[in-house]
Structure 1
Amino acid sequence: MTTRKLAVVVLAAGLGTRMRSSMPKVLHAVAGKAMVNHVLDAVAELSPDRVAVVIGPGMTQVEAAAAPHTTVVQEERLGTGHAVMAARPALGDLADDPDADVLVVCGDTPLITPAALHSLREARDERHGLAVLGFQAAEPGSYGRLIRDDGGDVARIVEAKDATTEELAVDICNAGMLCVGAPLLFRLLERVGNDNAKGEYYLTDVVGLARTGGEHCALRLAAESEVQGINTRAELAQAEAAMQTRLRTRHMRNGVTLVAPETVFFCHDTAIAPDVIVHPHVVFGPGVSVGEGAEIKSFSHLEGATLSAGAVVGPYARLRPGAMVGEGARVGNFVEIKNASLGRGAKANHLSYLGDTEVGEEANIGAGTITCNYDGFGKHRTTIGAGAFIGSNTALVAPVRIGAGAIVGAGSTVTQDVPDDAIAVARGQQSNRDGAAKRFREMRNAEKAARKTTSAKG
């Protein structure tokens, strides 16, 4: 394992015009996280001494996403070599340190793994002044080709637009990432020209220049899916699919049952304990934690929610940020919870909305219950005590407290606190008028017949 210091340059200045988006390319999300942050997370596993993110002019959103890392503005987009040179001042004394390496990575490769980056860095050894990361492409297309010598080292990198027919037949392609001894890298970049089809300063030219100077360039191969760059919406969708496959596999290896894995969608930070069962067509947004033995039934959507051990959610449940479902508690079909907690064993099984609410242990929330938490100006809380029973089709107008063991009659609109163990009924007085329904029907039928007679005479 190398003991050299490490500086990392992340290339993130691309506009991503083929994305047809006003948002910078590297901010588009995969599994709920911006592409550039996936890359920075992978880089962090290498414990770099310094990280510099190269951005374009006006990319304040990318600057914010990359924080606390240093960002450097590439004022003119003159190629990848020019971008790395723009980052040099941000690397400080590491740029001239003979015991330091510079690792250059792409900000639009969200599937890159720490293992691939570790392998690339280890390839830059005493014999090899630099190392590049490549992959065997199923369809090489417009990728740069890695041309190797008889010993397997990289002799040069040729961009597709500049390649000969023979070079285009090579299927070992450039992933756009390399590791170079720091002083060597910047000496080589000073010699890079722009006499090519794009008129740009290619970072890849340092390989040929290094070989001319007697340096060797090692090659490390990664899976094509790991180094996939994102330039279009279609490629973004492909990356999402690959990431979801990776996340599903990870959760199943950790003891989670996915009844139909291909229908479940995870966020990058979804945390699920062993022996959880996830049924088909469940979506996890950011910030979800699920305790051991919980069960999430089909067509449920969870975001910013915490489920304790043994909780049961769904089907067709929506848990919004701040939802907390206690041990053994149940959230049933067409129930929405936001900034609300259900205590141990509590139940809200049907057609309810609980917002800004605390539900005590073993309380039962009847079908159609709504906590009216917003008065048009502010949010207010509802507290429901342990063991309380809320009848169907009840509106609890916050702020209000329902005491422990209390019962609220079905159809009530509750605007005042209910004491412990009390029964509250808040609805209009029922009045029965004997025979009124029959008289009503006779009257309406007579009116209908009269209209028909009038119409026939006309």
Structure 2
Amino acid sequence: MSNRYAIVLAAGKGTRMKSKLYKVLHPVLGKPMVQHVVDQLQPLGLEEIITVVGFGAEQVQEQLGDTVRFVVQEEQLGTGHAVQQAETHLNGKQGTTIVVCGDTPLLTKETLQAVLEHHEQEEAAVTILTAQANDPTGYGRIVRDNQGQVSKIVEQKDATAEELAVQEINTGTYCFDNVLLFDALKQVSNDNAQGEYYLPDVIEIAQQQAQKVSAFQTARFSETIGVNDRVALSQAESLMKQRINEYHMRNGVTIIDPAHTYIGADVVIAPDVVIEPGTVLKGSTVIESNAVIGPHSEINNCHIGEGTVVRHSVANASHIGKRVQIGPFAHIRPEANIGDGVKIGNFVEIKKAKVDNNSKVSHLSYIGDAEIGSDVNVGCGTITVNYDGKNKFQTIIEDEAFIGCNANLIAPVRIGKGALVAAGSTIHEDVPSDALSIGRAKQVNKEDYAKKYK
């Protein structure tokens, strides 16, 4: 295998998107399009991935970070001109360069690997990734000779009636001999209606030099679609959703209603998980076996343990243990750490708090900036009062404590092991282990007072 390089074309603003957001940053199932492309390139053993950016470059650089090298196309002068910006880093290097558009989020590493291998086995100077389209309108057509070799690419506006009938289309992904690529780009002219330097012109130059031009046809046209407007974006979203859901179902996950289940590309789900309708799973979420998620739950960047049930709830950036019951209508905010066998009930909010094994926060409570031990019962309406308007403070509830309903625990405060807090109490001092703490206002009954209002 020769050295391999990649160039990702991500410099176009995308005016047809009609958006302030840079085109390749529009998400497909929660991940920017250009990130999908780079993620599929990374497993291919590439020496270098160079991303060509232009308008909005800072946002793309922030998204991709140090996983790629960036070059800037100051003026939008065509795809050939964009590739030429990578010459500083690739000029003179032996090997294969694959060029991919940053708005083709459905391309898979398997297809990209296949076209690279075909290019190298054929010892071609240029290989075009092609596909069969039922409706090729708008695409460049691949014209082959009697031996089945590529003779030219014809854009629709320049095609004859016979060429318009061709259904094999140019996907805009290419493999090049790297040295030939940059030598040929110096010969590309902008003498055309758009006044731009077109990358496909390299193919004609290679043929004029008697270099081999090959084509590799993928069986999956849907992988190759480029996203240029919101309609295509929705199509990409739908296709990606279908692909990901089918992958999980074939690996033993039950998805009750795939049409209304959204699973991000980086989500990991073990066999025998059940996903109920209306569920959204995003980020680097991991779900262990026998969990039940949904209906109508949103999970983002969480680890969810074996046998846990999450219903009608939202969880973000947290660790949730085994055999946990969450919901309905619970909110698990970032940095929550929920142990095994815990119950987080309806209308409970947990934020930056640890809830240890077998504890219960059953309903209508806020637990923020807290450490709750094991086998603790937190009664209905309990609040950890963690914020004084400027700073956050911690509440600690030790093992086996019992917190009565409607308790206000004013942090910083510690409730000792096995302690009892009476219902309706406001606690602002530490409670010793095994103590009963009552912090209520004195009750006063005024006889016949209510008659004034009747």
Global fold match (TM > 0.5)? yes
Mapped to 1, the partners of 2:247 and 2:413 lie a distance apart of 44
Q: What letter corresponds to residue 331 of structure 1 in structure 2?
A: I
Q: Normalized against structure 1, the TM-score is what?
A: 0.89
Structure with greater Cα Rg: 1
Q: Counterpart of 2:382? A: 369
Q: Counterpart of 2:157? A: 161
Q: Counterpart of 2:40? A: 42
Q: What letter corresponds to residue 290 of structure 2 in structure 1?
A: D
Q: Counterpart of 1:307? A: 320
Q: Counterpart of 2:363? A: 350
Equivalent position SS for 1:266:
strand
Residue 129 of structure 1 pairs with residue 125 of structure 2: yes
Question: Structure 2 unaligned runs (5+)?
Answer: 261-277
8 Å contact 1:256–1:276 — kept in the other structure?
Answer: no
Task: Give runs of aligned pairs for residues 138-177 of structure 1, distance below 5 A.
Answer: 138-177=134-173
Q: Counterpart of 1:32? A: 30
Task: Give runs of aligned pairs for residues 114-125 of structure 1, distance below 5 A.
Answer: 114-124=109-119, 125=121
Q: Counterpart of 1:440? A: 452
Q: Counterpart of 2:296? A: 281
8 Å contact 2:142–2:150 — kept in the other structure?
Answer: yes
8 Å contact 1:256–1:277 — kept in the other structure?
Answer: no
Deviation of the 1:65 alpha carbon: 2.2
- 1:204-259 CA-to-partner distances (Å, cap 9, x unmatched) read 22223323333231223152332222222333233233333333334444444434
Deviation of the 1:14 alpha carbon: 1.0
Mapped to 1, the partners of 2:417 and 2:221 lie a distance apart of 60
Mapped to 1, the partners of 2:9 and 2:218 lie a distance apart of 20
Distance 1:256 1:356, change over 3 A: farther
Of 409, 414, 423, which aligns to 1:401?
414
Mapped to 1, the partners of 2:316 and 2:365 lie a distance apart of 18
- 1:363-419 CA-to-partner distances (Å, cap 9, x unmatched) read 122222222222111222111111222222222222221222222222222222222
4+ residue segments displaced more than 4 Å:
none
Mapped to 2, the partners of 1:362 and 1:258 lie a distance apart of 34
Using the TM superposition, name which of 200-209 and 106-115 deviates more.
Answer: 200-209
Of 240, 257, 260, which aligns to 1:260?
257
8 Å contact 1:146–1:158 — kept in the other structure?
Answer: yes
Residue 269 of structure 1 pairs with residue 267 of structure 2: no
Q: Normalized against structure 2, the TM-score is what?
A: 0.89
8 Å contact 2:12–2:55 — kept in the other structure?
Answer: no
8 Å contact 1:258–1:279 — kept in the other structure?
Answer: no
Q: What letter corresponds to residue 109 of structure 1 in structure 2?
A: T
Q: Counterpart of 1:79? A: 78
Distance 1:275 1:155, change over 3 A: farther
Mapped to 2, the partners of 1:211 and 1:435 lie a distance apart of 105
Deviation of the 1:80 alpha carbon: 0.7
Mapped to 2, the partners of 1:15 and 1:311 lie a distance apart of 46
Using the TM superposition, name which of 58-67 and 42-51 deviates more.
Answer: 58-67
Equivalent position SS for 1:96:
coil
Residue 104 of structure 1 pairs with residue 116 of structure 2: no
Task: Give runs of aligned pairs for residues 171-190 of structure 1, distance below 5 A.
Answer: 171-190=167-186
Residue 341 of structure 1 pairs with residue 369 of structure 2: no
Distance 1:53 1:405, change over 3 A: same
Deviation of the 1:268 alpha carbon: 4.2
Q: Counterpart of 1:295? A: 309
Task: Give runs of aligned pairs for residues 325-336 of structure 1, distance below 5 A.
Answer: 325-336=338-349
Mapped to 2, the partners of 1:249 and 1:436 lie a distance apart of 69
Matched residues, number:
433
What's the % identity of the aligned pairs? 44
8 Å contact 1:259–1:280 — kept in the other structure?
Answer: no
Q: Counterpart of 2:87? A: 88
Q: What letter corresponds to residue 78 of structure 1 in structure 2?
A: L
8 Å contact 1:290–1:309 — kept in the other structure?
Answer: yes
- 1:48-89 CA-to-partner distances (Å, cap 9, x unmatched) read 101111000551121222321210011111111111111111
Distance 1:252 1:271, change over 3 A: farther
8 Å contact 2:360–2:378 — kept in the other structure?
Answer: yes
Mapped to 2, the partners of 1:78 and 1:290 lie a distance apart of 49
Mapped to 1, the partners of 2:381 and 2:239 lie a distance apart of 40
Of 390, 397, 411, which aligns to 2:403?
390
CA-based RMSD of the aligned residues comes to 2.1
- 1:416-445 CA-to-partner distances (Å, cap 9, x unmatched) read 2222222222222222234433x2344xxx
Of 50, 53, 56, which aligns to 2:51?
53
Q: Counterpart of 1:453? A: none
Mapped to 1, the partners of 2:123 and 2:23 lie a distance apart of 37
Deviation of the 1:90 alpha carbon: 2.0
Deviation of the 1:145 alpha carbon: 2.2
Equivalent position SS for 1:67:
helix
Using the TM superposition, name which of 400-409 and 222-231 deviates more.
Answer: 222-231
8 Å contact 2:124–2:177 — kept in the other structure?
Answer: no
Mapped to 1, the partners of 2:380 and 2:26 lie a distance apart of 40
Distance 1:113 1:173, change over 3 A: same
Deviation of the 1:171 alpha carbon: 2.5
- 1:90-149 CA-to-partner distances (Å, cap 9, x unmatched) read 22xxx3234x00011111222221101101101102442221222233432322222233
Equivalent position SS for 2:281:
coil
Distance 1:357 1:228, change over 3 A: farther
Distance 1:45 1:139, change over 3 A: same
Distance 1:341 1:164, change over 3 A: farther
Residue 19 of structure 1 pairs with residue 17 of structure 2: yes
Q: What letter corresponds to residue 240 of structure 2 in structure 1?
A: M
Q: Counterpart of 1:452? A: none
8 Å contact 1:38–1:110 — kept in the other structure?
Answer: yes
Mapped to 1, the partners of 2:386 and 2:159 lie a distance apart of 66
Mapped to 1, the partners of 2:220 and 2:207 lie a distance apart of 26
Mapped to 1, the partners of 2:317 and 2:429 lie a distance apart of 31
8 Å contact 2:22–2:56 — kept in the other structure?
Answer: no
Of 190, 203, 215, which aligns to 2:199?
203
Q: What letter corresponds to residue 266 of structure 1 in structure 2?
A: L
Distance 1:76 1:375, change over 3 A: same
8 Å contact 1:31–1:266 — kept in the other structure?
Answer: no
Distance 1:191 1:418, change over 3 A: same
Q: Counterpart of 1:456? A: none
8 Å contact 2:13–2:55 — kept in the other structure?
Answer: no
